[in-house]
Each structure stands twice: as C-alpha cells, then as structure tokens.
Amino acid sequence: MAGQSRSSNTLVVPQASQALEQIKYEAAQELGIQIPQDGYYGNMATRDAGSLGGYITKKLVQIAEQQLAGNR
C-alpha cells in the first residue's frame, strides 16, 4: 500500500521515534551491522537482526532502570 510504513508497530509515544532511531544506529555501529539504506530488512541475516533487536531491548531496559532509580 502506497504511503504506509512497512512496520505494523505503532509507538505509544510518537515523540520517541527519533531517539529509537538513534539507539538503532548506535547499536548497529557497536555490533558492526550494516543498516539497510533503503529501510528494507528482508535481506538482513536473521542472526544480525536478532542481535540488533536484542541489543536495542537491553539498552532500553538499562535506560528504564536508570530512570526508575533516578540516575539520569
């Protein structure tokens, strides 16, 4: 469908989009994974996609723990 995002995920806080993109690129750089320039992840190795997703989740949990502890 033209004009629609490929992802069916919706953000609870739409303003978080830019921060999530930054975390994704930082994670990819740290893991040595190339982010597809066209935004299509279908050709990415499953192992790389899983590593990237796992790293992002770990980072988001760390950020939440820091905020809950009051240690920004």
**Tens digits of residue pLDDT in 21-51:** 899 999 999 999 998 888 888 899 999 999 9
The 3 state secondary structure assigned to 37-48 is: CCCCCCCCCHHH
Structural domain of residue 61, as residue ranges? 14-34+44-69
pLDDT band at residue 6 using 50, 70 and 90 as cut-offs: low
Whether residue 7 lies inside any domain: the answer is no
Whether residue 22 lies inside any domain: the answer is yes
Total domains in the chain come to: 1
Q: Give the Å distances, CA to CA, from 1 to 4, 5, 6, 7.
A: 6, 9, 9, 12
Backbone φ and ψ of 54, nearest 5°: -65, -40
Whether residue 63 lies inside any domain: the answer is yes
Q: What's the CA gap between 11 and 6, in Å, rounded?
A: 14
The predicted model scores a pTM of 0.70
Whether residue 8 lies inside any domain: the answer is no
Whether residue 9 lies inside any domain: the answer is no
